[in-house]
Amino acid sequence: MTLNIIVVTDQRDGTLKGASRESLSEARRVVARAGGGDVVACLVGHNLGKAAEEARHSGASRVLVVDDEKLKAFSAAGYAHAVGLVAAKVPAPHVFLAPDTTMGRELLPRLGARIGGSVATAVTSIAPEADGSLTVQRKVFGGRATETLRLRGTPVITLRPNAFGIDASPASDPPVENVPLGDLPAVAQGVQVTNFTSTRGDTPDLTEAQIVVSGGRGMKTAENFVLVENLAKTLGAAVGASRAVVDAGWRPASFQVGQTGKTVQPQLYLAFGISGAIQHLVGITNSRCIVAVNKDPAAPIFKVADYGVVGDAMTVLPLLTKALTKQ
């Protein structure tokens, strides 16, 4: 059985997100398990030159690009139309993959409805079956259960970032194939993004960050959490939080790391006042180095930490921030 997998990539500031490279990696693995096929990187947007170059070296066997000023701002209907133009250049059977980012979550269900596909979001595993269908798994009910789905018809799937990993890319150097957009259909002009203001400032994406500084209930108050943010700022790191922090309303759900939050994969994960519940740990185990600060020497987080400090986070954080600011 051969499968042609169209990976709809997500870009930020003109470069491919790590989650897009991860989707390309998983597409290669699925194609290998299925017995062959193409991995097609599909880039939609404007000024995609650099991202298209990256896609050429990320293991895609084809790179198809719809680059048009009319696609400068994201719109699910407009982008779904453009992905349809790309799909028309790729022989069936198709599988559509995208990272489960804000873009992927909005675009792929729209695409699925448009083509009558079988949609599954935030999946954590994909297995091709002998009859050409796919079996996928994902966490449901806030992580309390794992659901297994059989997708018949055309699968349209978003992948949970950092659940699959990125392989070294095989040597491939496909040319960039440009697909003209032409006029956008009226339905694609219904909703237009007229302005986009990031509230994240300069901090990196939690799922993409090389360093993550996280705080837990041990930070005691929402106000103390600023100490976590100050250290993150000093290190150019992303800020994470345990679910206890999110449930207390100290920080929004987008900060949550763990089973029902985000999976992170940084070089360095710093945890302050986090006990190390299994639901938190599953989101951080791919970190290269874990440093934990907790006043309880028996806290479970010390079992997975590479370095541990038994101490008061409110004392250690300002000292560490000061020491690193001096460098």
What is the contact surface with ligand FAD in residues (CB under 6 A)?
142-144, 216-218, 242-245, 256-261, 273-275, 277, 279-280, 283, 293-296, 299, 312-314
- Residue among 151 and 206 whose Cβ is closer to ligand FAD: 206
Residues 67, 43 contacting (CB under 8 angstroms): yes
Using DSSP's 3-state secondary structure scheme, residue 55 falls into helix
- Residue among 129 and 296 whose Cβ is closer to ligand FAD: 296
Judged on CB neighbours under 10 Å (0-12, 13-18, 19+), 240 is buried
- Residue among 62 and 262 whose Cβ is closer to ligand FAD: 262
- Residue among 132 and 143 whose Cβ is closer to ligand FAD: 143
Q: Which of 306, 308, 290, 289 is nearest to 298 (CA)?
A: 308
The distance of closest approach from Cβ of residue 288 to ligand FAD in the complex, given in angstroms and rounded to an integer, is: 20
The distance of closest approach from Cβ of residue 141 to ligand FAD in the complex, given in angstroms and rounded to an integer, is: 8
Question: How do 134-140 and 145-151 pair as beta strands?
Answer: antiparallel
The distance of closest approach from Cβ of residue 263 to ligand FAD in the complex, given in angstroms and rounded to an integer, is: 9
**Sole residue written with tokens 């059985």:** 1
The distance of closest approach from Cβ of residue 295 to ligand FAD in the complex, given in angstroms and rounded to an integer, is: 4
The distance of closest approach from Cβ of residue 121 to ligand FAD in the complex, given in angstroms and rounded to an integer, is: 17
Torsion sign across C-alpha atoms 117, 123, 128, 133: negative
Quick one: tokens of 301? 């987080």
Q: Which of 257, 303, 254, 256 is nearest to 282 (CA)?
A: 257
- Residue among 11 and 259 whose Cβ is closer to ligand FAD: 259
Quick one: tokens of 247? 């449930």
